[in-house]
Structures are given as structure tokens and as C-alpha cells.
Structure 1
Amino acid sequence: MSQLIHPLSLASQANTNFIGSKAAALGELKRAGLNVPNGFVVTTYAYPDFIAPLQEKIRARLTDDVIMDPAELEGSATEIREWIQAQPLPDSLRAELASALETLDNAERASLIARSSPASDDLATSFGAGVARAYLGLVGIDEIERAIARSWSALWNSRAMYYRWRKKIAQTEPAFAVLVQPMIRADSAGVLYTQHPMSGDPDEMQIKSVFGLSVPITSARFRPDEFVFDKSKNEITDRDIADQTVKLMVGTDGHVEEQVISETEVEAPSLNDAQVGELAALGQQIEKFFNAPQDIEWAIVDDKIFVLQARPMGMRNS
């Protein structure tokens, strides 16, 4: 097995240190039989060879005087991110990336998503909001390569750089893994909290959903439909249906595009009651599996639920 790329089907919490917590949790759920999209992880072992050609240039740019001056540090951070985003992947990594893509079928390769997978969620939080990134609707190895470089460049924001300097951590040491999976061409998608995030009631679950991809929810761009499900009563106890007029979908070319919601969809919620019940049951299953309240991202295609992410509640940083 390559150290640079790790199949998601073999991912587990035992190898969180090099595949990251996001990939580890999904790997555990996939091996437990839940519907998790296929994929692979570009591990943290791939980062040192990628950043090595820039190390001296970065070291020369980041003097103590620069780091201690907020304006200088911000300018340096922008410049370093540009260097990293323009840096090609090492030939060995690109070759293994090409091989990993071949393990996916043609439909899966048609549109992909790359997401940062930090070794721990508090690592991402310590380095500032926006470090953990997702790049959607990627087509072909060149777009995947740029998304991997952009994911790693996110480590070089001014807050993260100052944090490493203050904690005496080598600037080029921290690394995220990058999880690559097929895009799910969702009819609806959203987030599920197995414990109500506002009231803290462990018997109440909150589900937020939109038509199409769930990006509008995580970016707070649109107001989603919201449902409250009571575990003990096994029923929906509250709902708030939003006026949704547009949705994000995977287009015929594999890229993400905005589409107008049809008249039929405008007049209906993005989830029916049966789907809410199925999501609630799935949420309780995942909560029991990890023995902790969970923040779950999901998508539905033809009434089949896919799990896109599961993490302990309170760890969302984007």
C-alpha cells in the first residue's frame, strides 16, 4: 500500500494521524456498511515532498520581524499561498494520483470533490476558520491537482502562521490530508445534528435541508428547510419550510452550476416526512456507533441516503 495515497475503504481511526479525522470517520462508517461514497486520501506523507522546493523561499520571507508585524504577515501569507497554489505536485504523487483515479469508475470520475482532512478538528480550529476547505465539481487530474495544492495553501493564512511561530512549530511541518471522492448528484442534501444545537436537548434532533447540493447551508447563503425530530416520540415535532428558488447541481460537464428550482419543488419541502424519519434513524445509528452526539452531512439521490461527513458536535469550523 502506498504511503502517499490511501483507499477510503481501508481508512480507520487507527490511521487518523496520516489520513485525518474526516477520512477516518468516513472509513469507519463505510466499513460498517453505511452508504459512504468511494474515494481515496492523499495522506499527510505527501505534503513534505510537495512543500520542499519552497522551504528556503518561505524561510527567507518569514523573518521574526515580518511575523510580528500584522500587515507584513498578511502580505507574506498572501504571497506564500500564491506560491503554493502554483507549485506542481511531485511526479511520484501525480503518478499515484492518476492510478487512484483509475480505481473509480467512469461515472464516479466524471465529477469529484476534494476536501481537507485535518489530523484533528481542533487543529483546524486552532489555525483559524476557513482552513478546512472543499473544492467541488472537479473534472480531470489537473483540476484535482490544483485543488490539492489549494487545500494545502489554506494552511498559510496569517493566523495559522502566527500560531505556529508562537508555539515554536516549524512553519512547513503541519499538514492536512486531502480526501477525494465522487460528487453526489443530490436531489436534496443538508446537515443533521443528533442533539439539538440550540437547546442542547439530547432527545431532539435538528435537520436542515435544501434542494440539490448542501453548499448553501454550510455557506449560510440560503435559508434551508428545518425539521426538529423527537427521538423518544419518534416523530417530527416542528418544521420551518423556506422559500427556495435556486439550487446548486452537478452539471452535464461535471462542474457545479446554479439552477432555478422548478415550480413543483418551490411548492414542496426538500424532504418528505419519510425521508426525515430515515435520516433521524441514521443519525441515531451513527451517534451510537461513535458514542457521542454527531454533526452529520448527508445527501439523498433517488431516496438513497449517503453520508458525506460525521464529526463530534461542536467541531464545525466552516
Structure 2
Amino acid sequence: MDKAPAIAALIGLLLASPPVLRPDNAVGERRVLADGDRIASDAAFDKMARTEGGGRFFELPRVMFAIDRSGARPHVYWIDTRRYLYHFDFLQARYLTLADADSFNAANYSRADRRFVLGAVARYPRLGRYGVELWEGDVVEPELLAAMMQQLEATFHAPLTFKPNSDQQGAAAKRAGLPVIGIEEAYGAREQLVLNGGRAVGRLVLVDEGAEEDLLPGDIALLKAMPIRMPPVAGIVSSTFTTPINHVSLLAKTWGIPNAYRADAGHLWGEFSGRQVVLDTRGRSVTVRLATDAEVRAAERTRAIRKVRAPRSDLAYSGLPALTEQDAGWAPRTGAKAANLAEAAGLARKRPDLRFEVPPGFSVPFAFYEHFVVANGIGASVEALLSDPRRYDPAWRRGALAALRARFAAGSIPRADLAAILARRRVLLGDKGVFVRSSTNAEDLPGFNGAGLYDTVPNVTGSEALEAALKTVWGSLWNERAFAARERAGIDHRAVRAAVLLQIGVDADAAGVMTTIDPFDEQSAEQRIFIAAKRGIGIRVVEGKKIAEQLLYRPELDSVQILTRSQDDVMLHFAPDGGVQEVKVDPNRAVLSDDLVRRLGRIGLAIQQRFGNRPQDIEWLVVGGRIMIVQSRDYVKG
């Protein structure tokens, strides 16, 4: 595949340029425009700068530059970035190149003998600094990098600092002895980011850490810290940024509510706590203002439940099928999570060239949940809760659900069922620790993601621990967050059942999530793979408690862009006696190599193709260089 046109179009990564290349002037007629040999002030910078979104992680004012190295002395051109979309357009308009796009790209990126050095200078307002950026796919030698910085600083009014966009550029800067703007510094300069666009009217609630379960469906949550899970609300604004694919962000997309990060949210809007407000995230800015009486009344009239139907569950089937015996069509027996994973396992067997695995496992179908409920007389308790008008009182409902889960914990699994499960585990999985995971018929549905609603019990070892874990997962069908989420979606609780997936536990070196779509720019025509990663097993990534290593992989260009490094100084590993334990790590090391990122990207695209080319949300892990897939579900767009 010829990558040259795509490279030219996507040098706009630095400039948030549309992914289209034209050999003529991007804004119309071919003519020489007044660009500068020097930027003498902030005002001069602003006159030439352009700020666009275009799916970029940062929306910062930036000015392109081109350094012509063909003469006795290099010449710096500062490009009027409001007029030109690409370096190539400017250089053609100035008759500095007569080459076609393919030849130009081949000669001027990742070559030590290039004629032109092409990049941009961005301003980080909160840092009060200017940073120099190159396209992340541009391989640059330390000597060229040092010369570039010296030449730019001689024609710019303020100090400049290099900001690497790839590991290679960071290493080159280190060898050149250059100071850099780190990923975390650049990331911290971000004041706000819309994670899901929309508008909501509701009561603004300042949420202390751990108090999210008290939120009501009509509330707009102002979060001081990102919780692991939360009940449905009308809108979310957080003063702590996290990955866009953590459980709460995914649920916000499912619920169709505005969700955004604003660094100073508490300071700006804390005084509105307890009052009816309007949260608006439809543009690039996050705004909160007091609602009018008319807006409050209109919101109350239009707040409606979207009906989602839980697929039927086959209660007649009582086998214990291995993942290798299932495919996507098994969802009515074993749930979408297990069936989808079985489909991914089939792909791994069919495509050994992809070099990934699915850890062995087997399903405990819906029928076993039904046997347990009937044997312990729990069905009457469920019906009593659902028929009680007090179910709409959050305090009463919380107590009733806790009592129902206690009945699950105290119940006994029918002897024949438990014996069959234990025997199947010994035959298929041996005595290794297993993950006991939910696979209900009320998650991974079209329009209802259900991320994080139900429980997973990691690294379960003995038989008694396995029995307890099964009852925990079954009982989690009736936790407050899952109940409230189903209420909002209009799912009939009486139709919901829990299957369970038992899977070999893998004590991973690194784990995370990837989406085969850019969550920052879901409408982009360019294929992008977004990856969030942390060291150890993957629970901490989807929790969203600390910023993960976040990367964008562009398959067409085969380029890896670093968005953030992991800020987590601990990782989770298996504890010797079962469960997990925290281990201290160095947060400054890269979690994934570029090779692993590229392999993950290829696997993600193959899985997407397997599921009818629908964008996928995929959980993965790495151990000893081996990639394993442990979940794939349709990505829910905002």
C-alpha cells in the first residue's frame, strides 16, 4: 500500500488538519501570501495560529514552520497557518518545491539528508510555554533535532522547548541533550475535554469520593474523583481527567448523557450545588449555568425511558460448554460476553498469523442461575421487591437489594450442579486460579453497554472459594448500580438472568482496553486504534482511578502517537493465596513497546472484521510478549 498521500494528509496530526491532500493552495487560488521569517511577539503568533479539534487530544493554537536546508545557511519559514492547511501547500505556493506529493513526502520525512524540516510550534496557555512538535511518524536524528531547535529559537521571540510525539523522538532529544515538554506536562495543560457531547438539565451535586451511590437519575454529578462505577444520572462533569474508555465514560455514552472534564469545575460551579443547572458539552467548551424555571419544567416533561429489551435466556440448556465449543450464536445460553469471546477464540485458531490467544474457559449457562434461585426460594423475594411501590425510594431500594444479595450469599448451589461445575473446572482448567466473570443477558447489548455493572471475582483458587464467587456474581445482578441502570434503560428486571464465565486467570505484565475507533473523534474517516494500558492485570485501567498510558495507532501510516504515559505507581498482581495484591512500580517507564501496539492494532482490526466490521471495545492483556484477548463487545458511540 502506498502510504505517501496519507502521510501528507496526516501531517495535519500536528495541525488538526482534515485528512485530505490537494496539490493546490488549500484555501483557493495559487498565490504568494505574506508569511514571516520571524515571529516577534505573542500577537504575531496569534495572527498566524490556527486552533482546531479534528479529533486531536489537545486543541492548542499552533503555527507551522518549514526549515529549508538547501542553501549555505538554513532558512526558517513561519507559515500563515490560518491560510495554509499543509506545509506542502505553502512550499508549492512559494515555488520552493515542484515535486509531486509522493516524492515530496518520501524525501522530507524520516531522512537525515532531507531538504525541509517540517513541524509546528504550539502554545500551552497554562504552562506559559511554547513547544515544538513533529509528526509522530517522523524519525529524526539527534544532530538534526538540535540544529532545528537552534534555528527556530533564533527567529522566535520566546524560549522554545521540544515536545516529543513518539518514543524515538524522545530518545533523540535525550541524546541531543535537549530539555523537553513531557507528555504529562502537555497533558496537564489541558483545561477541559468533552468526552460525550450533549445538554442536560438537573440538580448539580458535588460528589465526595465514595458518595456516588447516593446520586439520583435527575442529578448532574460534579465529581472530585472518578469513581469505579456509578448509578445513572443526567450528566457528568469531572475535575479529574481519566481515559475515555473507563467504565463510567462508557456508561455515559450508553445513557446518552453529557460527560466532560473541566480542571477547575469545583471552583467554577461549586456554588451551584443543590440547584437546578444546565450542563452543555455540545461544543468544545464545557459550560454550566443556572436553569430557568421553564427549562426545568421542559426537562421534566421530556425525560423519558428508552426501552431496551433483554434477549431471551435459554433455561433448558444445562451443559457446561468450553469457549472452544461456542460462537456468537450461543448468547441465548451463555450470554453475549462469553459468546463474543468464543467468537474471538475462533478467530485466533483460524488466524495463527495474528499471534494472539484467548485464555481457556467454560460457561455456566443461565439455567444454573435459575436452578439456584428456585432451590433457595429467591424468586419470591425478587417478585416482592419488584412489586413494592417503595422500589422508587433510593434508600429503601438500597436496603432491599442488599438483603436480596445476602440471600444469594447464604444460599446453597444444588449439589449436582456444583459437582458438575467443579468437575468441569478440574478437567478443563486444572487447579489454576480462575476469573469468575458475569455474562448476563443485560450487558454488551446494542445501545446498552453495561460496562462495570456486574461483579468479577479474580484469581479464585479452592472449591469453597469458587462456590462463593459464583454466588457473588449471580447476586451482583441485584446490586444498586445495575438495577438503576436497567431502570433507566427500561429493561424488564424479570427477564434478566446471569450466566457465568470461568476462565484461566493470567497474571499479566500489562493489560488494558483498545477501541477500533478514536473515542475523541468518532466521525473520523481515518482508521485509528485507541489503546489504554497499565502494568499488571487490567482492573485498574477500566476503573479509571489513575491516568493510563494512552496511545493512538494509525494503521495506514503505521504510526504510534503517545497521548499520555501511565501515572499509576502501583500495579495489581495475583496474591499467593488467591485474590490480588498491589506492587510498587516506576510510573515513568513505557508500558507498551511500539511493536506490541502495532500487534494489538492488527488484532483489533481483525476482530472488528469478524464482528461485521462494527467498531469494537476490546480488553486485552500481555504476558511474556504473548497477547491475550479477554473481551470484545460493540463500541457504543456517543
Identify whether the pair has TM-score above 0.5, normalized to the shorter chain.
yes
Which residue in the other structure is 1:237 paired with?
561
Deviations 1:120-150 (A, max 9, x none): 5366986977433211121112222212211
Paired AA for residue 337 in structure 2: K
SS at structure 2 position matched to 1:121 = coil
Q: What is the alpha-carbon distance in structure 1 between the residues aligned to residue 403 and residue 637 of structure 2?
A: 29
**Is contact 1:118–1:124 with CA below 8 Å preserved after alignment?**
no
CA contact (8 A) 1:4 1:46 kept: no
Q: Distance in 1 between matches of 2:575 and 2:392?
A: 46
Contact 2:444 2:634 in 1 (8 A): no
- Counting only pairs closer than 5 Å after superposition, residues 212-227 of structure 1 correspond to structure 2 as 212-227=536-551
1:268: which partner in 2?
589
Q: Supply the AA of the counterpart residue of 1:95.
A: A
C-alpha distance after superposition, 1:184-229 (max 9, x if no partner): 1111111111111121135111111111111111111221111111
8 Å Cα contact 1:138/1:144 also seen in 2:
yes
> Partner of 2:476: helix, strand, or coil?
helix
Instruction: Look up the SS of the partner of 1:253 in the other structure.
Output: coil
TM-aligned CA distance change 1:239 to 1:314, over 3 Å: same
Contact 1:115 1:178 in 2 (8 A): yes
Number of aligned residues: 309
Specify the alignment match of 2:464 in structure 1: 142
Which structure 2 residues correspond to residues 204-219 of structure 1 after superposition, within 5 A? 204-219=528-543
Amino acid at match of 1:9: T
The one-letter amino acid paired with 2:402 is: T
User: Are positions 1:50 and 2:372 aligned together?
Assistant: yes
Secondary structure at 1:236's aligned position in 2?
strand
2:480 is the counterpart of 1:155: no
* Deviation (angstroms), 1:68: 4.5
Per-residue deviation, residues 73-111 of structure 1 (Å, max 9, x unmatched): 2221111111112212111210111111112344xx321
1:20 to 2:340 alignment: no
TM-score (norm 2): 0.45
What is the correspondence of 1:65-104 to structure 2 with a 5 Å cutoff?
Answer: 65-104=389-428
The structure that has the greater radius of gyration is: 2
Asked if the contact 2:371/2:414 (under 8 Å) is kept, the reply is yes
In the other structure, the counterpart of 2:579 is 255
| Contact residue 621 and residue 629 of structure 2 kept, 8 A | yes
Unpaired segments of 5 or more residues in structure 1? none
Residues 110 and 254, structure 1, Cα contact 8 Å, conserved in 2: no
Shift of 1:26: 1.0
CA deviation after TM superposition for structure 1 residue 56, in Å? 3.1
Q: Is the partner of 1:189 in helix, strand or coil? A: strand
> Deviation of residue 67 (structure 1)?
2.8
Contact 1:298/1:309, CA 8 A, preserved across alignment: yes
Post-superposition shift, 1:6? 1.9
The Cα offsets for residues 140-178 of structure 1, whole Å up to 9 and x where unpaired, read as 1222221221112122235766867x979574x420211
CA–CA separation in structure 1 for the residues paired with 2:465 and 2:572: 19
Deviates more, 1:186-195 or 1:74-83: 74-83
Tell me the secondary structure at the aligned position of residue 103 of structure 1: helix
CA 1:269–1:130: 2 relative to 1, 3 Å: closer
Contact 2:546 2:567 in 1 (8 A): no
Q: Is the 8 A contact 1:186 1:301 kept in 2?
A: yes
- Secondary structure of 1:5's counterpart equals coil
What SS is found at the alignment partner of 2:464?
helix
Q: Which AA in structure 2 matches 1:65?
A: P
**Whose helix proportion is higher, 1 or 2?**
1
Q: Is the 8 A contact 2:441 2:496 kept in 1?
A: no
Letter in 1 for 2:333: F
Query: Which region of structure 1 is more displaced relative to structure 2, 124-133 or 112-121?
Result: 124-133
SS of residue matched to 2:378 = helix
Secondary structure class of the residue paired with 2:621? strand
| 8 A contact 2:337–2:444 mirrored in 1 | no
Contact preservation (8 Å) 1:136, 1:255:
yes
The aligned amino acid for 2:321 is H
CA gap 1:260/1:159 in 2 versus in 1, 3 angstroms: closer
Work out whether 1:300 is the aligned partner of 2:615. Answer: no
Q: Which has the higher contact order (CA 8 A, sep 6+)?
A: 1
Percentage of pairs with the same residue: 26
- TM-score in terms of structure 1 length: 0.87
- 1:115 paired with 2:437, answer yes
User: What are the within-5 Å matches in structure 2 for residues 161-172 of structure 1?
Assistant: 169=492, 171=494
Taking only aligned residues, the RMSD between alpha carbons, in angstroms, comes to 2.8
Moved more, 248-257 or 174-183: 248-257
